[in-house]
């Protein structure tokens, strides 16, 4: 056996950070390859690990609910306090890695899927590896090694393309890809100093090769059958490109690279729209997806590889869209499955990673027709209009939904999205009534009506700097209706007109969700007075013969935790209705 070799990363003349493998095995090709890792150690010392390696939505929401926050320092603190794995430990104190999948197996339901996959994707390794880089304290490296060794021992490889339940979903799809990405980052972080013994490095490199081959088979099969879609598929391409350029010694590296590039090109063509949005239409996911586009580009550039044709233009388009479609303070909008994050801070970090990024600041009013998303700004009002599709994984129903800010403060909000394991997400948050919309439901045989099966279409009829008008049509075997919404800003007034026409008697309802602030209704229930820090705003009903009803509902606040929100609604039975209202 060859003598164990440890090499620290070194700066080279190009200014890139040298990436030398801390350990090489004879089953590598034998050539000594210096490869380069594009995220410098100084960035890992400065930024939280989950700012550099963005979490997908499911992981963010679970971490936020389970640990109280979704950042690396919170996960690390849980480990230091002995609480990180407590929820998965049995009575004997041992970690039951598949504890919540076993609950699913026995009950034929899946109440804790995110809790199961969060652990088995091994997100928790990254904060430990980062802590080793920052401190050099051996306890972090030993903790990393212990978790990874125990996980590998508990999960023998299951061949690719098996049904998810064959491996309790642990050797399936995003679980494998995310673990691979956590390993790639960890190798860089742990190789600063002698963190691990040779036996551990051998285990890591075997696992990287094993995971990459598994991801390759899944990605190649999806690519061959044109069955790949969404960020799970894109992530496979990103992981394959990164692994191939970092580890050219593996004999499979060339095919990983070729397939990874093809997957990314296919995903970009199918999922990234002409305006820079993506079909999943969830703002925080859009940052995750844009980073999955950026990472392979950085890995290819850093290692002198040919970049993917047209990729720089694709990246510029994605980040320009993200810069334009945030709230007045530069944060992501909490629409669909999006969480609240600083878009401004993420884009600033990306500019450090890729200085070629040329992002314009958020402008006033704009309409993005491919994604059917618009912004209006005039005077004291900012309005976001989401008229996108409702039929994909991270979409919520209820379009065109609007969000309103008054003097920069949120006034009309989206109910938001909680941890995916909470059934209130599917029972309430994803339904149309949880948004600032008009709903139309049959009066008769209401039990047969399911908005989940309705696929309404929205089309922009008119837009300028002050006005957006959307036509919403829904045609189903049980109900056909048309809803037209016109939003206009002028002279310190936000004016909205909602007109509905159905082919049969229906229940027509207007729903408005207020930010969690003080609100009172006037005596006739036709005016809601909202007390904001910047002053009072009023929502007035202009149409005659209707009034506001009010109830208290759950909503997700800007801290990404549950709060309470006032829900105003107006109901009118019949075939037609007009709700005209304004905010002043």
Question: Tell me: the pLDDT tens digits for 90-118?
Answer: 999 999 999 998 776 665 555 789 999 99
Q: What is the pLDDT of residues 330-358, one digit of tens each?
A: 999 999 999 999 999 999 999 999 999 99
For residues 293 and 321, what is the distance between their CA atoms, to the nearest angstrom? 14
Q: Measured between alpha carbons, how far is residue 429 from residues 212, 335, 346 in Å?
A: 37, 10, 26
Structure tokens at 312: 């720089």
Residue 236 confidence (pLDDT) above 50: yes
* Higher per-residue pLDDT: 359 or 156: 156
* pTM (two decimals): 0.92
pLDDT of residue 365: 92
pLDDT of residue 244: 95
Q: Per mean pLDDT, which range of 157-166, 395-404, 499-508, 531-540 is the poorest? A: 157-166
pLDDT of residue 356: 95
Mean pLDDT of 162-174: 87
According to the 3-state scheme, what is the secondary structure of 241-271? Answer: HHHHHHCCCCCCHHHHHHHHHHHHHHHHHHH
Average pLDDT, whole number, for the chain? 89
Count, residues in the chain: 584
pLDDT of residue 539: 97
Q: Which region, left, alpha or beta, applies to residue 276 given φ > 0 means left and ψ of -120 to 50 means alpha?
A: left
Mean pLDDT of 564-574: 94
Q: What is the pLDDT of residues 175-198, one digit of tens each?
A: 999 999 999 999 999 988 889 988
Q: Per mean pLDDT, which range of 300-309, 452-461, 550-559 is the poorest? A: 452-461
Name the band, by pLDDT with cuts 50, 70 and 90, for residue 301.
very high
Nearest to 230 by CA among 288, 166, 181: 288
Mean pLDDT of 275-295: 95
Q: Per mean pLDDT, which range of 144-158, 240-254, 514-528 is the poorest? A: 514-528
Q: What is the pLDDT of residues 371-403, one digit of tens each?
A: 999 999 999 999 999 999 877 778 898 999 999
Residue partners of 60: CB distance under 8 A and separation at least 6: 70, 284, 339, 560
Structure tokens at 403: 């969000």
Name the band, by pLDDT with cuts 50, 70 and 90, for residue 293.
very high
Is the preceding omega at residue 400 within 30 degrees of 0, hence cis?
A: yes
Name the band, by pLDDT with cuts 50, 70 and 90, for residue 455.
confident
Nearest to 183 by CA among 158, 154, 215, 160: 215
Mean pLDDT of 295-299: 97
pLDDT of residue 159: 87
Q: Angle 113-120/99-107 helices, nearest 10 degrees? A: 150
Name the band, by pLDDT with cuts 50, 70 and 90, for residue 412.
very high
For residues 528 and 335, what is the distance between their CA atoms, to the nearest angstrom? 24
Residue 363 confidence (pLDDT) above 90: no
Q: Which residue has the tokens 């004879």?
A: 26
β-pair partners for 530: 519, 537
Indicate the pairing of strand 373-378 with strand 366-368.
antiparallel
pLDDT of residue 109: 54
* Phi, psi torsion values for 572, nearest 5 degrees: -150, 120
Name the band, by pLDDT with cuts 50, 70 and 90, for residue 360.
confident
| 311 within 8 A of 297, measured Cβ to Cβ | yes
Mean pLDDT of 205-229: 93
For the chain, percent of residues with pLDDT exceeding 90: 73
Residue 510 confidence (pLDDT) above 70: yes
pLDDT of residue 451: 60
β-pair partners for 403: 384
pLDDT of residue 19: 42
Domains and CATH numbers, the chain: 18-50+122-271 (1.50.10.100), 274-360 (no CATH), 366-583 (2.70.98.70)
């Amino acid at each position: 056996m060859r003598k164990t070799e440890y090499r620290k990363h070194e700066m080279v003349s190009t200014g890139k950070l040298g990436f030398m493998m801390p350990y090489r095995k004879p089953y590598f090709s034998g050539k000594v390859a210096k490869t380069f890792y594009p995220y410098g150690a100084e960035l890992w010392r400065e930024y939280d690990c989950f700012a550099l390696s963005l979490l997908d939505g499911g992981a963010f929401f679970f971490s936020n609910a389970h640990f109280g926050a979704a950042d690396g320092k919170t996960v690390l603190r849980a480990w230091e306090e002995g609480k990180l794995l407590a929820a998965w430990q049995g009575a004997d104190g041992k970690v039951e890695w598949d504890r919540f999948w076993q609950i699913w197996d026995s009950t034929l339901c899946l109440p804790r899927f995110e809790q199961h996959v969060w652990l088995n994707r091994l997100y928790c390794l990254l904060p430990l590896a980062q802590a080793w880089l920052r401190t050099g304290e051996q306890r972090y490296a030993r903790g990393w090694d212990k978790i990874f060794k125990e996980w590998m021992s508990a999960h023998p490889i299951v061949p690719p393309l098996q049904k998810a339940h064959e491996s309790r979903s642990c050797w399936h799809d995003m679980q494998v890809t995310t673990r691979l990405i956590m390993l790639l980052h960890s190798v860089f972080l742990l190789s600063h100093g002698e963190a691990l013994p040779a036996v551990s490095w051998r285990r890591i490199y075997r696992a990287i090769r094993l995971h990459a081959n598994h991801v390759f088979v899944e990605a190649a099969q999806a690519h061959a059958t044109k069955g790949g879609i969404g960020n799970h598929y894109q992530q496979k391409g990103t992981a394959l490109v990164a692994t191939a350029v970092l580890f050219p010694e593996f004999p499979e590296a060339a095919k990983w690279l070729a397939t990874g590039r093809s997957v990314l090109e296919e995903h970009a063509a199918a999922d990234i729209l002409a305006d820079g949005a993506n079909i999943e239409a969830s703002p925080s996911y859009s940052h995750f997806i844009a980073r999955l586009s950026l990472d392979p580009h950085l890995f290819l550039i850093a290692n002198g590889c040919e970049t993917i044709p047209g990729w720089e233009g694709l990246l510029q388009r994605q980040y320009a869209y993200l810069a334009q479609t945030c709230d007045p303070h530069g944060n992501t909008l909490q629409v669909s499955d999006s969480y609240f994050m600083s878009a401004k801070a993420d884009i600033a970090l990306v500019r450090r990673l890729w200085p070629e990024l040329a992002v314009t600041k958020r402008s006033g009013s704009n309409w993005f027709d491919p994604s059917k998303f618009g912004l209006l700004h005039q005077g004291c009002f900012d309005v976001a209009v989401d008229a996108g599709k409702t039929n994909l994984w991270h979409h919520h129903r209820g379009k065109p939904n609007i969000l309103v800010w008054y003097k920069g403060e949120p006034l009309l909000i989206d109910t938001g999205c909680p941890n995916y394991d909470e059934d209130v997400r599917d029972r309430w948050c994803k339904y149309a009534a949880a948004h600032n919309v008009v709903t139309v439901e049959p009066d008769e045989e209401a039990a047969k009506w399911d908005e989940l099966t309705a696929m309404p279409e929205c089309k922009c009829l008119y837009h300028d700097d002050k006005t957006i008008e959307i036509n919403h049509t829904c045609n189903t075997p049980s109900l056909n209706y048309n809803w037209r919404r016109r939003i206009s800003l002028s002279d310190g007034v936000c004016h909205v007109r909602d007109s509905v026409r159905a082919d049969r008697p229906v229940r027509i309802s207007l729903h408005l969700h207020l930010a969690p602030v003080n609100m009172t209704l006037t005596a006739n229930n036709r005016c809601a007075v909202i007390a904001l820090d910047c002053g009072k705003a009023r929502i007035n009903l202009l149409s005659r013969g209707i009034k506001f009803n009010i109830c208290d509902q759950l909503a997700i606040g800007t801290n990404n935790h549950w709060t309470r929100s006032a829900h105003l609604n107006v109901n009118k039975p019949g075939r037609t209705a007009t709700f005209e209202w304004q905010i002043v």
